[in-house]
A and B are shown apart, each in its own frame.
Chain A
Amino acid sequence: MKRLVPRVITSFVGILLILTAFGARPGPDGGGVWPVRAFDYVDRNFSVWFNILAVFAFILGGASLLKSHVAKVAHRRPDWPYSAVTLVSFVGVLAIGMLKLGGPPGLQGEVTDPGAWFQIVFDAIYDPLLATLYALLAFFITSAAYRAFRLRSPQAAILLASAFIVLLGRTPLGTWLSDPVPPSLGFLRLDALSVWIMSVPNLAGQRAVLIGIAVGVTALTLRILAGRGEVDGGGA
């Protein structure tokens, strides 16, 4: 029973949501036969219900975060100062947001109003940290590209050559290097080759991946609807 009930609910809701994708839409006045109105209602409201569930689950997440970091600080486990910083940040920002410190008073006050401490925390701490982390991507892309483009195999050589052409073809240097190419051989210009690589072999590969994803999603959905998924308890 513990497994059967979630499976039945999953299958029922899953089939219902699939049917809504094929259901007719109600007219501008919201009218139509009852299944049409029912499909439309389900389509509009199920995502809202998911969000409501997610809000309750956030309490679980917050409790998990507090529990793990409080235990780490209390028992002075390795790297506990990081946990202390996490706890202070979590509780501090939560208090600032819930009490709406610094902003217009009352329930109608927005935490994003000018002068609100929450907004100051966002602008002065969160945004710079975000930008710092995002900037790391430039270095990470370089080191990852270095590993990927090493000439270790014929495939890596093709990858390197393609990347080199696309990179040069999208820079002024590529245009300058292609200037001596006569108009009759314009397809050999680096910018033209770059466009061809992106719009023919790359696009073909992307579409193959997308077709595969569609097939995979359909198979996974059928497995779940048949009660053979992992999340509804059908796997383990």
Chain B
Amino acid sequence: MTGWWDPAVWNLGVIIAAMAAAILWGIHRARRGSLLRVRRIAGVEAMADAVGRATELGRPVLYVAGVTDLDDVQTIASLGILGAVGRQTARHGCRLVMPTDRSLVLAAAREVLRESYTAAGRPDGYTPDMVTYISDDQFGFAARVDGIIARDRPAACFLQGAFYAESLLVAEAGAQAGAVQVAGTAMSHQLPFLVAACDHVLIGEEFFAAEAYLSGDRDKLGSLRGQDVVKDLALGLVLIGAALVTLAAATGAGWLAVARDGMLRLLQP
């Protein structure tokens, strides 16, 4: 292999380039001031209500950014949501409690909250003690979070990030404490547990869209529109692919088989 590029992944490059083009198109349209029709995400809208409820009850908001480190894209997405939640707690004067299980997340979360409180015009409301480090150990972290929920009785729990087996331990503790819970994750195996224990769940793509939705930023909302276009394209490809495979098998037409094989070459890793 003497070239620069690996020819085995050309199709991946084409797919990612197409997705990126659609998202950049959405951002471009947003910048030109085109009317943005962004879908509602019930779970995201519930977060603002939950912060308001916590403020009225005089109880804290608990934010957990999952159990993975900064090298996980879900933690990055979660910190984006934290920024928006931080701006809301700053405006309402509501106490925010954020235990972390990674030192790098601790440092990043403090920086995000400091900027959020400053952006909300309440720099004095931010204290580094809002974010505390607990333990890198998954269950040690979950035990401490359960302890915080039992003692502080937060009125709202936001479980946003990558979770593993501890997801239900934390979510169920929040449910039993009577907190309004909004979870969000891309860990498909933990989704059933979070759906069972939480009031709202941001499932997969919604979780990554939440930060853009909450920020109200034009570019981010534009990228959200681009995301919707990509999803529509994916749905179209699924339908076309299913039709091609079915018709090629049913009719035995050569051109359908060629089209089916071409599509498989494009989409298969």
Contact = CB atoms under 8 A, between A and B. Distances in A.
Interface of A: 21-25, 27, 32-33, 35-36, 47, 50, 53-54, 57-62, 64-65, 68, 78-79, 82, 129-130, 133-134, 136-137, 140-141, 143-145, 147-148, 206, 209-224, 226, 228-231, 233, 235-236
Given A212-B204, A220-B77, A235-B211, A65 B133 contact: yes
B103 A144 contact: no
B205 interface: yes
**SS of A interface (majority):** helix
Given A22-B5, A22-B9, A233-B115, A215 B103 contact: no
Nearest to B135: A65
B195 A148 contact: yes
B193 A144 contact: yes
Contacts of A24: 1, 3-6
Most buried by B among A33, A143, A216: A216
A171 B184 CA distance: 32
Contacts of A217: 73, 186, 208
Given A218-B16, A219-B224, A57 B196 contact: no
Interface of B: 1-6, 9, 12-13, 16, 19-20, 23-24, 27, 69-71, 73, 76-77, 79-80, 82-84, 86-87, 100, 102-104, 106-108, 111-112, 115-116, 118-119, 129, 132-134, 136, 139, 142-143, 147, 151, 165, 168-169, 171-172, 175-176, 186, 188, 191, 193, 195-197, 203-209, 211-212, 215, 217, 219-220, 223-224, 226-227, 230-231, 234
Contacts of A147: 175, 196-197
B204 A134 contact: no
B107 A57 contact: yes
Contact of B132 (A68, A213, A233): A68
Contact of A212 (B69, B147, B169, B231): B231
A104 to B, nearest CB: 26
Contacts, number: 209
A50 B68 CA distance: 13
Given A144-B193, A216-B207, A236-B112, A25 B175 contact: no
Contacts of A58: 103, 136
B227 A215 contact: yes
A57 B103 contact: yes
Most buried by B among A21, A32, A217: A217
A228 B115 contact: no
Contacts of A148: 195-196
A164 to B, nearest CB: 15
A156 B115 CA distance: 42
Contacts of B104: 53-54, 57
12 contacts: A57-B103, A130-B139, A134-B165, A148-B195, A217-B208, A218-B230, A226-B27, A228-B219, A231-B76, A235-B112, A235-B215, A236-B112
Given A22-B13, A64-B132, A219 B102 contact: no
A143 B16 contact: no
B12 A22 contact: yes
A137 B79 contact: no
Contact of A211 (B71, B112, B231): B231
Contacts of A145: 196
A226 B28 CA distance: 12
Contacts of A53: 104
A61 B172 contact: no
